[in-house]
Amino acid sequence: MTDFLFAFNGLTEMGWLLQNFGPLMTAVVFFIWRDYRREDKLQTRVKELEDEIRDIVLPLVNSCSAVIAKNTQMMEQNGRVMERLETVIDRTLR
C-alpha cells in the first residue's frame, strides 16, 4: 500500500481508480494519500524543529544560564560591598 501511495501522484491514477473501482474507493484512496502526505510533511517539520532546538536553542540557553549565574554572583558581591560602604559611612558620620 505504501508503494502505491508513493506512486500516486495525479489525475491519471485518479482516473484509473475511478474507472476500475468507482468513486467511493477513489475518495477513500485520495483521503488516505492526502493524510499520508500531510503526516510525512509534519514528521519532517518536527524533525527540523528538534534539530533546531538541539543545535541553536540548547546552546543559547546554556550560555544564557552561564551569564545569569555570573550576573547573580556579581550582584551578591556588589551587595556585600554596599553593606561595607554603608558601615564605613555610618562610622564616619557619627
**For range 14-31, the mean pLDDT:** 86
**For range 17-26, the mean pLDDT:** 87
Q: Which of 76, 13, 9 is nearest to 37 (CA)?
A: 9
Determine the structural domain holding residue 61 and report its residue range.
2-93
In this structure, what DSSP letter does residue 38 have? H
For all residues of the chain together, what is the average pLDDT?
A: 87
Please count the structural domains in the chain: 1
Q: Is the dihedral of CA 11, 17, 23, 26 positive or negative?
A: negative
Please give the model's pTM, rounded to 2 decimal places: 0.52
